[in-house]
Amino acid sequence: MRIEAEHARVLASTAFHRAGVAEEAAHTAADVLVITEMMGISTHGLNRVETYCTRIAAGGVDPHAMIDVQMPALALRRVDGRNGLGPVTAMRALDEGQAAARAAGVGAVFVKGATHIGALAPYLWRAAQSGFAAIITTVAAPMIAPPGGKDALIGNNPIGIGVPIEGRDPVLLDMALSVVARSRVRAARDAGTAIPADWALDVHGQPTTDPAEALKGVLQAIGGAKGANLALCLDLLAGGLSGATTLGKIADQHKTPSRTQGLGLMFLLIDMQALGDGAASNAALKDAVEQVEQSAPADPATPVRLPGARALSQMRLSERQGLEVPPPLLSKLEVLAGV
């Protein structure tokens, strides 16, 4: 069923408000999830409203959390989300990072006490709209084994990189360090379909095409040991430096919704104007992305596409045509919103 994005925002915001979240925070979280949905990232969009509300009811998310911010240095911020609604904490961290970058040219924000913040692309897009390049990462519940191991210990710790380019769309890279996100494995399980053998390992450390067995085992990291070690190092940065919960001690929001996660986040912001000689930088950026776009495609029917191009194209389409929301999901949103 197709609905306007604003209607989706009202439903999501009302659902969060009814769950006990303050009105302004409810609007913030709803906006992040609707932008995500508009970008076509449905695994992290409106379906997360029910997940977050369930965790609020179970006690895993504090709807009344008051975010604490400290400034140990001009370019640094420490944020404690106190296990409040993840997108609200993340947007506050983004705002603090931009403020630090305006003052010092660069801003680094280390967050503890966060909960699931959704996709990274909306935050990267917001930063780019304000003229900031950004690197964002978050720890996640364990789902990847360390090199040589078979037990889940490391999260698939997504990393996002956003680069604004004057006169054209920004480059937005948002990727987890597993071959696929666990949400895609859950979707395959719910749909009763098999998964590719390179997505996950079962509890015996063997490749599996059964999504149910994959969810009992571990996801495979991109690039094997290189991807697993990169995920580990991101955990050390986002989790360790922020003083957050790390690695195998992070609770799974789906298996144990009543447990707080205490996730760590890291936001690095660069004020593009502070670099000086913006015309030269922008010309170099435009030249680089045009080289990519003009490179010969392996399949003539599929042009080479920059990171984020599909999401931004889908967002513009959603602005014109609204959102295609499956009827069961819309019904859930209406129930949560009390409609």
Q: Which domains can be identified in the chain, with CATH numbers?
A: 1-58+308-339 (1.10.1530.10), 74-178+221-274 (3.30.1370.60)
CA distance 263 to 276: 35
Written as tens digits, the pLDDT of the chain (339 aa) is 899 999 999 999 999 999 999 999 999 999 999 999 999 999 899 999 999 999 999 999 999 999 999 999 999 999 999 999 999 999 999 999 999 999 999 999 999 999 999 999 999 999 999 999 999 999 999 999 999 888 899 999 999 999 999 999 999 999 999 998 888 898 899 999 999 999 999 988 889 999 999 998 999 999 999 999 999 999 999 999 999 999 989 999 988 999 999 999 999 999 999 988 878 999 999 999 999 999 999 998 898 999 999 999 999 999 999 999 999 999 999 999 998
3-state secondary structure of 152: coil
CA distance 272 to 250: 35
Quick one: tokens of 198? 């390179």
DSSP per-residue letters across 278-327: HHHHHHHHHHHHHHHHTSPPSBTTB----TTHHHHHHHHHHHHH-EE--H
pTM passes above 0.75: yes
